[in-house]
Amino acid sequence: MVTPSEAIDAVTTLNLIDLDDRQETFLSLRSVLTSRVEDFPVFEELFEAFWNQIGRSMHPRRIVEREVLSNNQPQVRISARGNRHKDLAYFLKHWQGAESRVPEPINLPGASNVVSAAEKDFSLFEGDELEEVSRLARRIVRRLARRPSRRWKPVRRGPRVDLRRTLRQSLRTGGELVELSFKKRKQKKTRLVVICDVSGSMDIYSLVLLRFIYELQNSFARVETFVFSTSLERITGHLKDRSYKQALEALSANVRGWSGGTLIGPSISTLNSLWPKLVDKRTIVIILSDGWDTGEPEELSASLAHLKRRAGRLIWLNPLLGSSAYQPLVRGMEAALPHIDVFAPLHNLASLRALERHLVL
């Protein structure tokens, strides 16, 4: 049964898409008019009859970048619901040819061909541009590893004389300062727990964010990585000590629910219950998600409150926040905001660089 609200959403969607494109029309209407996988066969049968009746020809979807003449920026289209039930193998099939295709537009202001690379939206990135994401991730990791603690440790040669230890050792030589002892600051042992939303509404960003997570995982010893759509899965082992291509293949073979719906609250609850020892006051938890959630906002609020009490810092990075028109009005984001220490965008290289200052406890 299609409700009046869903019918209105469908009409609104038809005004935003290319009606000559059968595949785009099909996917857009299916995301609005169905809520269960069981409904897909019925929808496909009805859509086929509808399309044949109006005599439209079937041709493959064209992905084009459109310029908005009023502000010289491309528009980006994104479905407001994450109801597409594809597996990761299907998802990767459409992304691995990124070098030879033009990025898909979404309903957010992105970067045009005259905007600097730092401002170019990740949704418009091609395959060869992912290396810049890797480079920035490695730089962040190097700075994390070099951050000094307030605590000191003894060393053979260092920047500061350890006066107390020097005096204590002088007792062996009758109070003569024969040999100096040195000390230097210990490195801060900050741990990162990264939780990435790979539901349908995050498709256009998931692969770029995975590249960022992959570099963190393989350049910094204290990183634990999770992905979620309707359930949470730990992928630390799938990313560690592999090439990026091998890591994607491992994820394709082992991670379920890619590009499905979104249940953020139950996923965070799973982290709290199954991996409580991974989060303490020296841990920075990073959630990468657009906030679209089909779960109960009360559960999301409660699970984030529990996580915040245990973590050193809770950061939520939302790719949609890069749009000046975006407001966090979806109920998932409204439930989450009171418990977040840092709410920031992560949609281009400039926002990735800005992330660095938030990773200091």
Average pLDDT, the chain: 77
Closest CA to 273 of 229, 297, 305, 306: 306
| 14-50 confidence digits (pLDDT tens) | 777 777 778 778 887 787 777 676 777 888 888 888 7
Instruction: Flag whether 4 is in a domain.
Output: yes
User: How far, rounded to the nearest angstrom, does the alpha carbon of residue 128 sit from its chain's CA centroid?
Assistant: 19
Enclosing H/E stretch for 183: strand 182-187
Instruction: Flag whether 95 is in a domain.
Output: no
The phi, psi pair for 157, rounded to 5°, reads -135, 130
Q: Do residue 179 and residue 196 come from a single domain?
A: no
* Residue 73, number of CB atoms within 10 A of its CB: 18
Highest mean pLDDT among 54-63, 105-114, 279-288: 279-288
Q: Do residue 160 and residue 221 come from a single domain?
A: no
Radius of gyration of the chain (CA): 25
Q: What is the pLDDT of residue 284?
A: 93
Q: Do residue 166 and residue 270 come from a single domain?
A: no
Q: Do residue 264 and residue 168 come from a single domain?
A: no
- Structural domain total, the chain: 3
Q: Do residue 136 and residue 51 come from a single domain?
A: no
Domain extent for 49 = 1-62
> Which amino acid makes up residue 160?
R
β-strand pairing of 182-187 with 148-155: antiparallel
Q: Is the four-CA dihedral 237, 241, 243, 246 of positive or negative sign?
A: negative
Strand partners, 117: none
Tokens of 189: 């042992």
- pLDDT of residue 334 exceeding 80, the answer is yes
**Sheet containing 160-161, strands listed edge to edge, beginning at the edge strand earlier in sequence:** 148-155, 182-187, 160-161
- pLDDT of residue 269 exceeding 80, the answer is yes
Q: What gap in Å lies between CA 34 and CA 220, rounded to an integer?
A: 42
- CATH code (residue 276): 3.40.50.410
Instruction: Flag whether 174 is in a domain.
Output: yes
- pLDDT of residue 129 exceeding 80, the answer is no
Q: What gap in Å lies between CA 275 and CA 358, rounded to an integer?
A: 24
For residue 68, give every residue at least 6 positions away whose Cβ sits within 8 Å of its Cβ, in sequence order, or none.
74, 75
Instruction: Flag whether 235 is in a domain.
Output: yes
Q: What gap in Å lies between CA 87 and CA 82, rounded to an integer?
A: 13
Q: Do residue 178 and residue 274 come from a single domain?
A: no
Q: Do residue 158 and residue 236 come from a single domain?
A: no
| 200-233 confidence digits (pLDDT tens) | 888 888 888 888 888 888 877 688 999 999 999 9
Q: What is the pLDDT of residue 59?
A: 43
Tokens of 143: 């700075």
Q: What gap in Å lies between CA 235 and CA 342, rounded to an integer?
A: 24
Q: Do residue 165 and residue 254 come from a single domain?
A: no
Highest mean pLDDT among 112-121, 203-212, 273-282: 273-282
Q: What gap in Å lies between CA 109 and CA 135, rounded to an integer?
A: 25
Q: Do residue 251 and residue 339 come from a single domain?
A: yes
